[in-house]
């Protein structure tokens, strides 16, 4: 497996009225082509800031972030963000939301792509529905389909299930793994939920308190689908909690 993203010595400082705030303090991290990497860490440590820098929405103050060897200096259509709060347009149907990023493609070609991803995320029959008619989980499926329709190399997932209820969140975890396996995209997910990290990740990057660096990157070879009651699952969770300094 080749390296897709390389982060080296990444520092990020935000200037505020009260002075400079050091958020990232020399982050080193490799993300492999096609893997599902999850980043966990204490609340407010800079997980989302790191993700924003990797996507090009923020620039690192020093150090470097490279994708396929090219330095990240701005956002790209090949790198797509999926946020916690569904960003789909309430005045567009499911079909129109998913096709939004496809621009002025001929209708037949656009329709073929949109329907492919509607089928992939399990929304057949809802092509003409509007967001107000959808459940939270269905809105999130639209979000994933819209992101995938533009054929990105990398999916950045920032707490994508955080706004969902517990049962929907569990179902969406299974869905995103199914979608990831079918599309073979490189996925990087930020979460505060350690159990979610262990369920989803090939590898888990554990960050320190702010100003943050990467404390450890843990391999997760548990077979999928993963059982939270499996001894290996519990052991990996406990190891992460130990690194985070949380008593169990």
Q: Can you name the residues that pair with 187 across neighbouring β-strands?
A: 36, 155
Which pair of tokens denotes residue 187? 């996925």
Q: What is the DSSP string of 196-215?
A: HHHHH-SEEEEE-SSSB-EE
Q: 3-16 and 19-32 as β-strands: parallel, antiparallel, unpaired?
A: antiparallel
How confident is the model at residue 87, as a pLDDT? 75
**Longest C-alpha distance within the chain, in Å?**
57
Helix (H) or strand (E) holding 183: helix 166-183
Going from the C-alpha of 60 to that of each of 5, 7, 214, the distances in angstroms are 15, 10, 15
Q: What's the confidence (pLDDT) of residue 223?
A: 93
pLDDT for the residue numbered 215:
96
Homologous superfamily of the 1-78+153-248 domain (CATH) = P-loop containing nucleotide triphosphate hydrolases (3.40.50.300)
Bond preceding residue 225 cis, omega within 30 of 0: yes
The number of angstroms, rounded, from the C-alpha of 181 to the middle of its chain's C-alpha atoms is 15
pLDDT at 189: 95
CB 7 within 8 A of CB 28: yes
Q: CA 47 to CA 71: how far, in whole Å?
A: 20
Q: Which of 75, 41, 34 is nearest to 58 (CA)?
A: 75
Q: Residue 231: what pLDDT?
A: 96
Three-class secondary structure assignment of 67-116: ECCEECCCCCCCEEEECCCCCCCCCCCHHHHHHHHHCCCCHHHHHHHHHH
Res 183: pLDDT:
87
Q: Look up residue 11 and give its two tokens.
A: 């520092």
Predicted pLDDT of residue 219? 97
Can you give the residue ranges of every domain in the chain?
1-78+153-248, 84-151
Q: What are phi and psi of 131, to 5 degrees?
A: -50, -35
pTM of the predicted model as reported, rounded to 2 decimal places? 0.90
Three-state DSSP class for residue 23: strand
The confidence score (pLDDT) of residue 56 equals 94
Which stretches in the chain have pLDDT values below 50? none
Phi/psi of residue 34, nearest 5 degrees:
80, 5
What strand order describes the sheet that includes 154-158? Answer: 79-82, 154-158, 186-190, 36-40, 203-207, 214-219
Q: Residue holding tokens 């959808």?
A: 134
| Whether the Cβ atoms of residue 38 and residue 201 lie closer than 8 Å to each other | yes
Q: Give residue 33's pLDDT.
A: 96
């Amino acid at each position: 497996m080749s390296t897709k993203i390389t982060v080296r010595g990444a520092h990020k400082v935000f200037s505020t009225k009260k002075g400079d705030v050091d958020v990232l303090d020399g982050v080193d991290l490799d993300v492999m082509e096609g893997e599902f990497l999850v980043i966990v860490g204490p609340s407010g440590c800079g997980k989302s800031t790191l993700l924003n820098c990797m996507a090009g929405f923020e620039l690192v103050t020093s150090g470097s972030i490279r994708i396929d060897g090219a330095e990240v200096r701005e956002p790209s259509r090949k790198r797509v963000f999926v946020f916690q709060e569904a960003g789909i347009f309430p005045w567009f149907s499911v079909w129109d939301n998913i096709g939004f990023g496809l621009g002025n493609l001929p209708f037949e070609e656009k329709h073929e792509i949109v329907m492919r991803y509607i089928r992939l995320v399990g929304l057949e029959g809802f092509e003409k529905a509007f967001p107000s008619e959808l459940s939270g989980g269905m809105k999130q499926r639209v979000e994933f389909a819209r992101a995938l329709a533009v054929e990105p190399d990398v999916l950045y997932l920032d707490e994508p299930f955080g706004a969902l209820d517990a049962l929907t969140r569990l179902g969406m975890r299974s869905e995103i793994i199914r979608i990831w396996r079918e599309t073979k995209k490189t996925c990087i997910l930020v979460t505060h939920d350690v159990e979610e990290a262990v369920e989803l990740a090939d590898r888990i990057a554990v960050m320190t308190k702010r100003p943050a660096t990467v404390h450890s990157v843990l391999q997760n070879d548990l077979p999928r689908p993963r059982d939270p009651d499996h001894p290996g699952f519990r052991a990996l969770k406990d190891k992460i909690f130990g690194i985070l300094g949380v008593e169990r």
